[in-house]
Amino acid sequence: MNALHLAWFLGSLLIVGLAGYALYLWRQVWARQRAQTQAERERQERIGGDLQILAGSLLEGQLPLIEGAIRIKVLLDNYDSQLSRDQRCEVFHLLFEATAEVPTHAAWKALDKQQRRQHEKRFNELELQHKAAARSAARWLLDEGLEQPRKRA
């Protein structure tokens, strides 16, 4: 009987030890989940702030329309895909797609003057055609659109 009690005691001790270790591991999982949730919340706030700055700059004329539309579209995709697909933001997607083939950075600098002028002419045409819609979309984002994700969260 003495050996049976010892085995039962050791088995119980082993179970308690494993349960304690499992609890320790679950606490680590929960802490990581909280940290990931906090990091995602901070990311959303940062992108939302960037979107507000870009939309405001676009409205105030401090940012070229095409550049602003491209930047807003990319950030919207990362901020809230549902908001990005909203019909009122369609102009940002349209301008993004219309300029997708335009080289950037060093490739832009490598273009000859005639090629750059052709792209700039296209930019001007797009701006004339879509300026009112882009400004309206930026105003809607500032007034209503960027508030919706916060309400859902």
Q: For CA atoms 88, 91, 97, 103, give the dihedral sign.
A: negative
In degrees and rounded to multiples of 5, residue 28 shows phi and psi of -65, -45
Burial label for 131, CB within 10 Å (0-12, 13-18, 19+), is middle
Select the more confidently predicted residue: 149 or 112.
Answer: 112
Q: Is residue 150 scored above 60 in pLDDT?
A: no
pLDDT at 97: 96
Q: Angle CA(100)–CA(101)–CA(105) in degrees, nearest 5?
A: 90
Q: Is residue 148 scored above 70 in pLDDT?
A: no
Q: Is residue 149 scored above 80 in pLDDT?
A: no
**C-alpha of 94 from chain center:** 19
pLDDT at 135: 97
pLDDT at 113: 92
pLDDT at 147: 82
- Average pLDDT of the chain? 93
pLDDT digits (tens, 9 = 90+) for 56-115: 999 999 999 999 999 999 999 999 999 999 999 999 999 999 999 999 889 898 899 999
Least confident of 1-15, 27-41, 71-85: 1-15
Locate 69 and state its tokens. 């539309």
